[in-house]
């Protein structure tokens, strides 16, 4: 058990903890999940190149997870292979920065940064069955969205900044959580288990990560869930932004780099990079103002793209 886990009294092998993780994961039969997956598919899988790319990515992720499960304790291998897979998927997605790349020059070379972006759920088109597809039999855990696809589209931003790419996500059960942590990703424990102090736990993990990998671009989703899922709208209609990432950035002196991501049916993922800033330590209203400002500029750019 890590020092952070001991301090927060997390036992990741506790059946109650595992159950809480599984309970938090999206359910295929959830009407809201069914509806947003349908809308994302209609948005993304319109052209043959995209259908082919997503089929290839599905196979890549399956092979990646099988290899990682077989080498779950090999942190160096998992970290290296994960960065390679992110690059491979990003290339297949045709991901590119299409606006304001010059804002990246306002960051110091290989500087750690927290990337704030919209939670576009294209990864939901590539779910796998842990037992049947990967040979990982975890009671009650019958569906997984493989993690590389969650955020691989942001790889050009990390590359231009000279950074590795990581992200913040809900924890995963057992071997999948071990892989997730060994890849350098930031794990959010279920609120049902950790009632208070989750922001501090995430902050401690980020501080540890950048101590090991100072060249870290860490993707954070302030919506806390897939765009359009809970508001019943579409994949470019944002949910309200929460403030946890801004609190952490202020406490650690990390720049926030807002990025908007949009999927063009012919060209693939397109990214808009906004100006980075380091939020000041403030009160809850102040952090909410930061979050609201990023929400507005990302939503406005997405509206222009989808209405073009």
Quick one: which of 262, 197, 257 has its CA closest to 235?
262
**What proportion of the chain, given as a percentage, has pLDDT over 90?**
87
- 76, with CB counted inside 10 A (0-12, 13-18, 19+), is exposed
CA 2 vs CA 146, 191, 204, 205: distances in Å: 24, 19, 12, 11
The values of phi and psi at residue 182, to 5°, are -70, -20
For 221-235, b/e burial (b = at least 16 CB within 10 A) is bbbebbbbbeeeeeb
Which residues constitute the domain of residue 144? 3-306
Give the pLDDT band of residue 197 (cuts 50, 70, 90).
confident
* Residues 88-100, mean pLDDT to the nearest whole number: 98
Give the pLDDT band of residue 62 (cuts 50, 70, 90).
very high
Which residues is 168 bridged to in the sheet?
186
pTM, rounded to two decimals: 0.95
Residue 56: per-residue pLDDT = 98
Six token digits for residue 37:
């997956």
Six token digits for residue 7:
């301090």
Domain total of the chain = 1
Does the pLDDT value for residue 207 go beyond 50?
yes
Give CA torsion, residues 198, 186, 10, 135, to 10 deg.
140
Residue 7: per-residue pLDDT = 45
- Which regions of the chain does DSSP assign to beta strands (E)? 96-99, 113-117, 164-170, 186-188, 216-220, 256-264, 268-273
* Residues 253-278, mean pLDDT to the nearest whole number: 97
Count of CB atoms situated within 10 Å of the CB of 30: 12
Give the pLDDT band of residue 158 (cuts 50, 70, 90).
very high
* Residues 192-211, mean pLDDT to the nearest whole number: 88
Which residues is 186 bridged to in the sheet?
168
Quick one: which of 247, 235, 240 has its CA closest to 203?
247
Residues shown for the chain: 308
Quick one: which of 2, 4, 3, 1 has its CA closest to 202?
4
- In angstroms, rounded to a whole number, what is the distance separating the alpha carbons of residues 267 and 98? 11
- In angstroms, rounded to a whole number, what is the distance separating the alpha carbons of residues 196 and 173? 20
Give the pLDDT band of residue 5 (cuts 50, 70, 90).
low
The values of phi and psi at residue 146, to 5°, are -55, 135
């Amino acid at each position: 058990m890590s020092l952070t886990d001991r301090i927060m009294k997390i036992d990741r092998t506790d059946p109650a903890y595992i159950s809480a993780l599984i309970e938090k994961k999206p359910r295929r039969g959830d009407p809201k999940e069914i509806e947003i997956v349908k809308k994302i598919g209609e948005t993304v899988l319109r052209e043959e190149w995209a259908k082919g790319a997503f089929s290839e990515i599905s196979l890549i992720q399956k092979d990646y997870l099988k290899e990682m499960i077989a080498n779950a304790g090999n942190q160096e291998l998992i970290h290296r292979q994960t960065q390679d897979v992110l690059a491979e998927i990003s290339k297949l997605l045709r991901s590119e920065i299409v606006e304001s790349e010059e804002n990246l020059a306002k960051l110091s070379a290989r500087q750690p940064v927290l990337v704030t972006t919209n939670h576009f759920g294209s990864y939901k088109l590539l779910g796998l069955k842990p037992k049947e597809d990967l040979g990982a039999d975890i009671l009650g855990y019958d569906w997984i969205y493989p993690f590389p696809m969650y955020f691989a589209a942001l790889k050009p931003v990390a590359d231009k900044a000279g950074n590795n790419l990581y992200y913040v996500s809900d924890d995963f059960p057992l071997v999948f959580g071990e892989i997730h942590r060994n890849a350098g990703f930031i794990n959010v424990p279920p609120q049902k288990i950790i009632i208070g102090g989750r922001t501090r736990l995430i902050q401690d993990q980020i501080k540890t990560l950048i101590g090991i990998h100072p060249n870290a671009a860490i993707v954070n989703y302030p919506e806390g869930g897939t765009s359009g899922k809970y508001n019943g709208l579409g994949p470019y209609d944002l949910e309200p932004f929460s403030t946890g990432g801004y609190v952490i950035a202020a406490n650690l002196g990390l720049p926030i780099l807002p990025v908007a991501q949009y999927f063009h049916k012919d060209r693939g993922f397109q990214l808009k990079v906004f100006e980075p800033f380091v939020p000041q330590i403030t009160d809850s209203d102040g952090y909410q103002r930061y979050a609201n400002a990023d929400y507005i500029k990302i939503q406005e750019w997405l509206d222009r793209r989808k209405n073009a």
